[in-house]
Amino acid sequence: MRILFLNTTGGFFGGVEQNIALAAQGLAARGHLCSFASFKRSGVGQERFDALFSSVWDLASTSLSEVVTQTKPEVIYVHKLDSIQQVLDASQGCRVVRMIHDHDLYCPRKHKYYFHNHKICTHKAGLICYADLAFLERGPRGLRYVSIGAKLKELRCNRKVDALIVGSAYMKRELLRNGFDETGIHTIPPCVAPSDRPLQPFPTQSSVLYVGQLIRGKGVDTLLAAHALMAADTKTRVILHIIGAGNDRKRLEDLAKASGIDDLVCFHGWVSHEELAQYYDSATLVAVPSRWPEPFGMVGVEAMLRERPVVACRVGGIPDWLVDGSTGFLVPPDDPRQFASKMEMLILDKDLAESFGKEGRRSALERFSFTRYIETLETLLMG
């Protein structure tokens, strides 16, 4: 099968591009011919990324129609792209499949929580978006106007593709809420890249790990408040390791200092995906304190594969992979006291934490294996 991957950006730029690379690697190993086209090249691991494909195309210099003519794909596999109509126009009758990675398609504000109170939105895209000021978007030069009408048109246009892939039941519900046909939506949970790194014994030194962007929607401020409560309750020295970058870092550092726990919090900044395993191995538990509805939440699955329990908020796609009381704990968002209570249980009861970790790995290997992912994706792409 000839497959043309389409995305805004090439190279190992982020999670979307990592997913594309894994899919191309797995599909090529099964004998499929994979090509790739994008509008820009990130330059991040570019040569290694490009080497995964039989041909790589720059849509800034070559039209999509010409790329389709040259590669003759049997299926066009679309990822992040501003306009699906250009793909439909250039498809020359071949199958078009799209993976929806986030909330951008069905949420003009992109975050699925309200601007005015940060509560999760439960409405379909439409008039409510105007009331929530979704026509304003923060850009490099401050606020700018964006057309909600154009985004609603793009939403409707995506109903024309042959199949849509989402990673969680939450995302599927959002598409159904916005008028998509259930028969055209396929839930394929993301996979984690296979790792040859041996598992490490459960650590003797207690610590908590957070991995993700440092932005308000990720709820790191809730985690800091919970960590302060836990420190006061247990009188135990537990280090919180925070990995990631974002525009909220300065505020979070100030919060840690104001809470009197700055000596218990280490901000490590960005860390490469290859280095993360050692941080998971050193942690007693991994925290996912998101207040926005995570489309899926790959960090949790990565932690489970390293046999570490997870404490996370019951939002978005997180309940798809975290079994409360079996592989970790689910708590309401924006509730530091409950988050602290569940972390305390795992910090003070290492046997419980270790048993959750072992069950988490068993569950992750069974449900989110690389082989199972590629087999399911292959079947869907072939139609």
DSSP string, 57-113: EETTTS-HHHHHHHH--SEEEE-S-S-SHHHHHHSTT-EEEEE--SSTTT-TTSSSB
Report domain extents, the chain.
Answer: 2-191+369-382, 207-367
pLDDT at 161 over 90: yes
pLDDT at 139 over 80: no
- Checking DSSP bridges between strand 75-78 and strand 55-58, what pairing results, if any? unpaired
The tokens for 283 are 């942690």
Supply the pLDDT for residue 158.
97
Let me know: does 215 contact 183? Beta carbons within 8 Å.
Answer: no
Supply the pLDDT for residue 115.
84
Say which residue, 43 or 195, is predicted with more confidence. Answer: 43
Supply the pLDDT for residue 317.
96
Instruction: Specify the CATH architecture of the domain 2-191+369-382.
Output: 3-Layer(aba) Sandwich (3.40)
Supply the pLDDT for residue 219.
96
Burial grade of 260 (CB within 10 A; 0-12, 13-18, 19 or more):
exposed
Least-confidence region, from 13-27, 127-141, 155-169: 127-141
pLDDT at 9 over 90: yes
Mean pLDDT of the chain: 94
pLDDT at 194 over 80: no
Say which CATH class 207-367 falls into.
alpha beta
pLDDT at 140 over 80: no
Let me know: does 211 contact 192? Beta carbons within 8 Å.
Answer: no
Instruction: Specify the pTM.
Output: 0.91
Supply the pLDDT for residue 208.
98
Mean pLDDT within 66-82: 97
Supply the pLDDT for residue 200.
93
Supply the pLDDT for residue 133.
87
Q: What percentage of the chain carries pLDDT values higher than 70?
A: 100
pLDDT confidence tier of residue 59, bands split at 50, 70 and 90:
very high
SS3 115: coil
Mean pLDDT within 244-272: 95
Supply the pLDDT for residue 51.
97
pLDDT at 138 over 80: no
Mean pLDDT within 270-285: 91
pLDDT at 341 over 90: yes
pLDDT confidence tier of residue 180, bands split at 50, 70 and 90:
very high
- Checking DSSP bridges between strand 142-145 and strand 136-139, what pairing results, if any? antiparallel
Place of tokens 């916005």: 178
Q: Distance between CA atoms of 152 and 148, rounded to whole angstroms?
A: 6
